[in-house]
Structure 1
């Protein structure tokens, strides 16, 4: 199959990247600056916050302040994760135009992560979807553990397809397929995508791969060949799964951009600007970027 002409990158670092930062809370002004820098680099989709209980995810406790504080750029979608109706109401009050809900392809992961079965999690989204529709807010769906689970091991592709189809039927405009613990390999990724694509059109699917085993770029290339044209990534490789030992986080946006540029695939994003942003935010967090491309190229003012 031929590669897509263009790819839409969905930037995850402000939410998925920062939510698991332990220790001190990342200042609201830093989060706002990160989001604005990413938009200035050419990102058109940025997951900026998560409207969850600060008790469970302290780093996201300032979601309203972040969403109302950013200088919104025309043509950029600033979305937020809203696991329940309360979260959605908070997002609507903060003028969020797009939200996301998440379900797992693994029963054990669903129980450990959100204390309910897959079926119950989907049922809980029904009022969320109805309210979002009423408010004119688009909803994106995530499926986690699509290529493996820390508790169950391998996940059958058909189970992933069932959950993806259920989210589509609920009204999600796009389904992001997450290799939450980064255990997938290219053939597994292709087989999973083939099963899902029998239930969900390729144009409504996205790839969200973590790089725990160093396979994320290979897996992305495999699904690009199958027709995927939306990729979730996180600047500097920020983020990870707290339930997976050694999970190193999302694939780095810089590495994905370098891959896509090498394939002649257009993104409209300035790679060097993203590299510089990655160096800036990791300095704020007291470390260096997790991106191999960023380490090789360095910041432009160095």
Structure 2
């Protein structure tokens, strides 16, 4: 892998990072305010205009469970796809895949949990049963030429089971990738990861045969460790980082989860390291200020707060 940026300690960093913007799905799904579809479409368009090339657009999870995203089909019809931009859509099962394929979706996402308790609370299924459910989704998507992003929750800690052992995470992650997923996002769902644990998990996955360039990281900032964890992942060569505009999001099934890593905070961090993202920070700040007005609350992002004035 070509590394061109060197921080103060001499350890190489990737010269460019792809940010997966999860605000429109993972961010908005946990908001008490439901935006009209026109505002959601404008949100997505603003993200693309700022330079994003990977924007998680919405979800086909049943609206009873995620009512904020009940307008998924209308939103996808309202978005004019930009050339070179991927718009993953989360699908929980084959029914969701059918809806996505009917709309011409080229990127889907599937999800599972590294822990049994969260899997049963979130999916009403065991880990094994959840993998059995998504197996035909992945197979059919790949047959149709659709890319599949996999989300694995509770990779570092679970509010009911505590710290999650690395071998347990590696086992589930490896099984997801063997289904045919093209990318795996490692979720710190409740924000308890620390840099040492991030490195341990990444090293274990690579040692087990998972390609480093297929791995992404998804941090929450409950203990203020999201950027430190990001830096640890960068040092190990990860080049795909999930974040959410303005720090939107949490997890509706894990009450201790706070917001996602804010895209603006991540951009300030990466650009300060000399890492290219292709994203305009000021446009992201303006977008998050605009979104905060629609949601009726200020953005929790410190970078937004600092630059918006």
Once the two structures are TM-superposed, the CA of residue 50 in structure 1 deviates from its matched residue by: 0.1
1:275 aligned partner: 285
Which structure 2 residues correspond to residues 145-294 of structure 1 after superposition, within 5 A? 145-199=154-208, 200-294=210-304
Deviations 1:104-125 (A, max 9, x none): 1111111111011111111111
TM-score, length of structure 2 as denominator length:
0.94
Residue in 2 that maps onto 1:142: 151
Asked if 2 retains the 8 angstrom alpha-carbon contact of 1:6 and 1:229, the reply is: yes
Could you say which residue in structure 2 is the equivalent of 1:130? 139
Q: Is the 8 A contact 1:150 1:243 kept in 2?
A: no
Match of 2:106 in 1: 97
Conserved in 2, the CA contact under 8 Å of 1:17 and 1:234? Answer: yes
> TM-score when scaled to structure 1?
0.96
Query: What is the CA distance between 1:245 and its match in structure 2?
Result: 3.2
C-alpha distance 55-245 of structure 1, shift in aligned 2 (>3 A): closer
3-state SS, counterpart of residue 12 of structure 2: coil
CA offsets, 1:249-275, max 9 Å, x none?
Answer: 110000000000011000000000011
CA contact (8 A) 2:159 2:256 kept: no
Shift of 1:134: 2.6
CA deviation after TM superposition for structure 1 residue 20, in Å: 1.3
Q: Which runs of 5+ in 2 are unaligned?
A: 1-10
Q: Which runs of 5+ in 1 are unaligned?
A: none
**Are the counterparts in 1 of residues 20 and 242 from structure 2 also a CA contact under 8 Å?**
yes
SS where residue 244 of structure 1 aligns?
A: coil
For 1:47, the equivalent position in structure 2 comes to 56
1:116 corresponding residue in structure 2: 125
- Contact 2:31/2:68 (CA < 8 Å) preserved in 1? yes
Corresponding residue to 2:74 among 59, 65, 72: 65
**Contact 1:52/1:87 (CA < 8 Å) preserved in 2?**
yes
The offset of 1:244, in angstroms, is 2.8
CA RMSD, Structure 1 to Structure 2 (Å): 1.0
Counterpart Cα distance in 2 of 1:18 and 1:138: 23
Aligned partner of 2:8 in structure 1 is: none
